[in-house]
Structure 1
Amino acid sequence: MANRADDIIDRRRLRRKLTFWRLFGLLALIVAVGAFASWAMRDRMGTGIAHIAKVRIEGTITEDDELLKRLDRIRQDEQVKGVIVWINSPGGTTAGGEALYEAIRKLAAEKPVVAQVGTLAASAGYMIASAADQIVARQSSIVGSIGVLVQYPDVTGLMENVGVKLEGVKSSPLKAEPSPFSPTTEEERAMIRALVMDSYEWFIGLVGERRGMSRTEVLQVADGSIFTGRQALERRLVDALGGEEKAIEWLAGKGVNAELAVVEWKSTERQGLFSPLSLAGTLGALLGLDKLGADLAARTGADRMFLDGLLSVWQPAPGLGD
């Protein structure tokens, strides 16, 4: 009986030990996951230490709420001592460019901001760059294409060929015009031209103000032309030639410690680490399908297919706008 009682006591002690180690293991796992999540998100939410924030603006520009909120978080983060806005964009919607321009100007009112041009900063992409207090571009970067344009297709010939006729009743002649389903009248062209020229005047006024150029000087470079970084420097569209080190050099001149780490603030809009969408995205990335899809969209113009409003974008897909 004594041996049996001892066995029971030993089993209870063993269960208590197992319970302790299980709880300890679970706690260690939670801490490890938390540490990994903190490490994975360190360049998205800041580091908790003084640093230079870097934000990438790439591809076709539209009104991006997440990016606007990210810029505002950078503005409010006391650990951000300076900002590099890295740009590689052919432009996009004029309204999208305007929203980002205003967000960057608000940020620049509180922290030194420098724009670093990668391959391309054209049209609305240049509009965004001009919001910074310094623009750095590579010698071979493409800069410019200052202008606004609206394009729309005319499919009336195709409709005639297939025997389709569009009927409609509208309240006034200019309602829903211009339309791809009817030839454009001079009155309609005049309406669209007034729309385009009003935005163009706003655009060149913005460039003149930010670059310290007269209207005459701006008009000389605002005919839609594009320039290399070297040519843009001659025309005062950029301030210096170089890369990130040149951008940091300018920040240092504004009192920012050049030894601070440059931390990229990325989008926080992502699925949970182990969610089906996240796992599918990871698998696609491992197989290279994410790059394939992006490349296919760019080649076919699908990445700009649903842009609305006035466009400020260099080399648009046919029928979309510039």
Structure 2
Amino acid sequence: MLIILAVALFSGAAAFFHSTKLSDRLSSSDDQIGIVRVEGVIMDSESLVEWIRDLRNEPSVKGVLIRVNSPGGAVTPSQEISRAVARLAKQKPVVVSMSSAAASGGYYISAPATCIFANPSTITGSIGVIMELTNVADLMEKIGVKRQSLTSGKLKGAGTPFRKMTRDEREYLQSIVDDMHDQFVRAVAKGRHMDLKEVRAIADGRVFTGRQARTVGLVDKLGGMEDAAAELKSLCGLSGSIPTVEQPEKKRPFIERIMSNIHITLDATGLPQGLLVR
């Protein structure tokens, strides 16, 4: 255990100094390419939005490559990151490289980019919004448990799992989903310079392969990360070997850094229910 802890401490220290070095490189006078990685389910936007802002404000960063490998996630974080990408693309070339998946929230983030690359087999699109609600009313009745609640209005308890949804509640919640979907569609139309009717025709939640997405106008070119990087250098007027700068590793509690280096995690949270872009 002492040997393992010593190795973990050394690895943690190396990661810390490596992250500091990456942060210092943002003030470099050399031309650089910024890298943004969007990985996994999107449930938070703060660190990514801050990093995108740093890259936007740094003169030495001439363009940004965004690598997306995400099936989607919560609506608001996806929207916030998408807006950050749109602001970035107004000032510098931004090229998205889609990995295995860049669907729903992953596509929301990608849409404002200058150019989008997808692999032929990438799963993307899925322009839609879903609200998932659990109903346990029948189960409660079977076990003889009754729940009473007092609300300030007839729609305050909409979505409660303890009784069946009324018609008014369904219409109310559906209007929320529809409004968020409309925001998603408009963001795609604006980012991709497409007609709203054209986007609505394919924004029914379906997914596309990268090859299909190119046919309907959701991506620009087929290729991997290397192809996307070459396109970005061309858009920036750069050639040869260009240094890249990635987001410094987020600082975590000391004990968590140690445990993560020996493949033990302290975080066992699950995914919350609610509004997701899918």
Task: Pick from 106, 111, 132 the counterpart of residue 130 of structure 1.
Answer: 111
Tell me what 1:306 maps to: 272
Instruction: Tell me the CA shift for residue 277 of structure 1.
Output: 3.2
Q: Where do 1:23-102 residues align within 5 Å?
A: 38-46=17-25, 48=28, 49-102=30-83
Query: What runs of 5+ residues in structure 2 fail to find an aligned partner?
Result: 1-12
Closer, same or farther in 2 for the Cα pair 1:227/1:171, shift >3 Å?
A: same
TM score, norm. by length of structure 1 = 0.75
What SS does the corresponding residue of 1:82 show, helix, strand or coil? strand
Q: Are the aligned partners of 2:66 and 2:94 in contact in 1 as well (CA < 8 Å)?
A: yes
Instruction: Tell me the CA shift for residue 180 of structure 1.
Output: 0.6
TM score, norm. by length of structure 2 = 0.87
What SS does the corresponding residue of 2:238 show, helix, strand or coil? coil
Q: Where do 1:157-172 residues align within 5 Å?
A: 157-172=138-153
Tell me what 1:201 maps to: 182
Q: Which has the higher contact order (CA 8 A, sep 6+)?
A: 2
Give the counterpart letter for 1:57 in structure 2: V
Count of residue pairs brought into register by the alignment:
264
Tell me what 1:231 maps to: 212
Moved more, 202-211 or 120-129: 202-211
Instruction: Tell me the CA shift for residue 37 of structure 1.
Output: 5.5
What SS does the corresponding residue of 2:239 show, helix, strand or coil? coil
Q: Are the aligned partners of 2:93 and 2:114 in contact in 1 as well (CA < 8 Å)?
A: yes
Task: Report the Cα distance in structure 2 between the residues aligned to 1:105 and 1:258, rounded to whole angstroms.
Answer: 25
What SS does the corresponding residue of 1:135 show, helix, strand or coil? strand
Moved more, 202-211 or 96-105: 202-211
Q: Where do 1:253-268 residues align within 5 Å?
A: 253-261=234-242, 263-268=244-249
Q: Detail structure 1 runs of 4+ shifted over 6 Å in the superposition.
A: none
Query: What runs of 5+ residues in structure 1 fail to find an aligned partner?
Result: 1-33, 314-322
Closer, same or farther in 2 for the Cα pair 1:198/1:271, shift >3 Å?
A: closer
Closer, same or farther in 2 for the Cα pair 1:150/1:99, shift >3 Å?
A: same
CA offset digits 1:27-84 (Å, max 9, x no partner): xxxxxxx999654533355362322111100111123212211111111222211100
Task: Report the Cα distance in structure 1 between the residues aligned to 2:195 and 2:67, rounded to whole angstroms.
Answer: 27
Query: % of aligned pairs identical?
Result: 32
Instruction: Tell me the CA shift for residue 222 of structure 1.
Output: 0.7
Cα RMSD for the two superposed structures = 2.4
Tell me what 1:187 maps to: 168
Q: Are the aligned partners of 1:147 and 1:223 in contact in 2 as well (CA < 8 Å)?
A: yes
Q: Does 1:178 align with 2:159?
A: yes
Instruction: Tell me the CA shift for residue 216 of structure 1.
Output: 2.3
Give the counterpart letter for 1:312 in structure 2: V
Rg: which structure is higher?
Answer: 1
Task: Report the Cα distance in structure 2 between the residues aligned to 1:227 and 1:205, rounded to whole angstroms.
Answer: 19
Give the counterpart letter for 2:220 in structure 1: D
Q: Does 1:111 align with 2:92?
A: yes
What SS does the corresponding residue of 1:149 show, helix, strand or coil? strand
Closer, same or farther in 2 for the Cα pair 1:37/1:171, shift >3 Å?
A: closer
